[in-house]
Structure 1
């Protein structure tokens, strides 16, 4: 006799594997950091994330769309700073970025930029996302500084951003091949030196580091 309450049919669509999406996005950046564009495959990402290939392919149609989401997920919050001063904002921003680069997944964004610069044709829209993400996010920081009178209104904002990010990136590239870590004091010292230089070049009112009062 048939049951009066038949079991509900399973809906089609993306499989609901708990935590799968976060693991896949993390695995994508780690895989890219190790392999680069040429060696990056969706299958390898699935193996690293510990999920089936179908779980990846049902969510992302190709590796460009996967990397686009991965970059967006990991970059979120890096530039979300507002300390009330340009110096404080730039120091927090540079510190967040440096720590991001020290992470294996964050390092992948550096490799993406290098791969894109050396490729004879576009690798995908994810490289454009990396290129413009930081500049677009930092502009509000500089606008607040203009409103406070810390920098002139005709400040070349894009040049300042490139100087800051370029200096942080080069400091990251120059770290030793093994044990790529920095203590908090060393990281802070490097960041302060970079920000001092950038602010001095920008002619900012906050270029001179304020004296710390003794407690």
Structure 2
């Protein structure tokens, strides 16, 4: 008999339980990956009964997917300015994904999404949002004469996102209150490097 995906009739969902379970799921996935991700372990971290989780989500795949939907969204369109500022905005969005409480889970999902049913599609949508945003930035940059007409979007985005991920992984973490300033400083240096190569010659 399939488990219900909703709470018992007449009993309202407790938003605090939902939040604790989602936070615990993200923390556990970041620490242990899909191989170590179990409903029992999530329940223990969240301080709730396993039955409470199964009343909300019938499988561990559904649980992880909902937690990711709550904590990870796609790249949003950047505010039109000039190509340098737009690329810095994009880099900062990527930074915010890979640092802080959700950072480890973001790295895990980038590696493991393809083998988790449902999650692969969600992560593909997030990745596609990066491509859409980068294409729009390059298109505007070409129209304004800031970039050559043959600027390769894929190579530019690979360089930007790969550098951000590598920097987060290899640089000692900074205090939360210094995180945004450090990310912006690096993002500006990175974008200047990318643009210098994109416009060379």
Report if TM-score (shorter chain) is over 0.5: yes
Q: Is residue 37 of structure 1 aligned with residue 34 of structure 2?
A: yes
Q: What number of residue pairs does the alignment pair up?
A: 188
Contact 1:60 1:66 in 2 (8 A): yes
Report what 1:4 is aligned to. none
Indicate whether 1:63 and 2:56 are aligned: no
Residue 15 of structure 1: how far off its partner (Å): 4.7
> Which residue number corresponds to residue 115 of structure 2?
122
TM-score of the superposed pair, with normalisation by structure 2: 0.76
Alpha-carbon distance, 1:98 to partner = 1.6
Residue correspondence of structure 1 range 1-215 to structure 2 within 5 A: 12=9, 15-76=12-73, 78-115=75-112, 122-147=115-140, 148-149=143-144, 150-152=146-148, 154-176=150-172, 180-181=173-174, 183=178, 184-203=180-199
Runs (4+) off by over 6 Å: none
Show structure 2 runs of 5+ residues with no match. Answer: 1-6
Distance in 1 between the 2:92 and 2:137 partners? 20
Deviations for 1:2-31, whole angstroms, at most 9, x for unmatched residues?
xxxxxxxx9627751132222222221111
Is the contact made by 1:41 and 1:63 (CA closer than 8 Å) also made in structure 2? Answer: yes
Q: Which has the larger Rg?
A: 1
Unaligned runs of 5+ in 1: 1-9, 205-215
